[in-house]
Chains A and B, each alone.
Chain A
Amino acid sequence: MSGKEQFTIERLCQGLSQGKLLGGKCVKCRKIHFPPRPLCDKCFSDRFEQVEISPNGKLLTYTIIHIAPSQFQAMAPYAMGIVQMENGLKVPGMIRDVAADKIKIGMSLKIMFESCIPTSNWPQWPRYYFKPA
């Protein structure tokens, strides 16, 4: 896909539900955006192509959330982090399948996909999380 077809956050979510992490690559300046945007913040081009981002990355920083919003209270405490993917893009998300004291900055993580957790009033979007590679 390239040219003027719009690559939106909605389409990114569709990609997640198909097990893909998608970025938008500017056709003009080649910058890859996550999430995709309608207007390149570097060169103002509105032409993008969809690129699949490698599922592997390294942990840049993390926290263990104990006090959570009501939608996430049942899961607390849980780990959240920012992961730098192999192409340099940074993706925030939950870190699972690892004990809190085993989480270390720099560790290798892999993105996993799952269908949405139904909630009463938030959008029913598919989700992703990270686990040790």
Chain B
Amino acid sequence: MFTADDSEWSPDTGRIDWADEMDRISPEGKPSKSTLPDSQNHIDEGKGIRTEISYRYNAKNQKEKITRTYKIEKTAVPKGIALRREWTKFGEAVHDKDGVDMATTKESEEICFRLTTNKDELELGIPKELSGLIDKIKDIAKNESKTEIPTQPTEQSKALPGTYTLPHTRPGYNPGVGGGGYNLDDPQPAVKISNLSLDTTEQDVKELLIAFGRLNRLHMPKDRRNRDSHKGVAFATFQRREIGERVIQKLNGHAYDHLILKVEWSKSQRPRN
């Protein structure tokens, strides 16, 4: 009933950067809406499908056709409810927009809903399976920080003074603990992409990587404090190792959304049994 299927989007609709926003304001002004064809509405009674076709201009001044298909569902309700469906708006609500007015009704952000008898899970929001693991992880982290890793100057650290060096190529860079979790000996090792900007969505990364070859799995760890956000890291596994190599070769040091990406093979942080 509520599903909308946007089938005919031009490929260029997506994120709009503030820089693009400036470009859109052309000297001639915005394109006049009158040149667009009227939106159409077809109802297929037999199939119970309503099709809505509308047109608009996109950021590049190209005409776009948007087709939305809705499935019409009929449900039986008690007589009282059916009669009340006919009620019209009254009082202050008369001034609201038709249907659901966004000024009075909004959808909230996503809320975690879980039912559990585990107290940790209720209070900290940590899944039951993981609550025992936290102590283990803390132990591992403690042990690892004890063994000091001698830092070796790499080739990139000899860069000319005044030129920008990536944070991870600077001398004395300590990758620290965390992240990872993939083994290099795996037949399909993961590629770790870090220094992603927080505006980047999983879809963006997918679009970026899909050009190189078949993607097996993409994982972007969520920020534990802010569930809407991620940590700026993505792990991707490809079907073949060569694809991963090409991604690292092409994308490491590549500028993406005002930040410079760091792409490398993901290192396993815990030894495998």
Same complex: no
**A residues adjacent to B (C-beta < 8 A):** none
Q: Which residues of B contact A (CB under 8 A)?
A: none
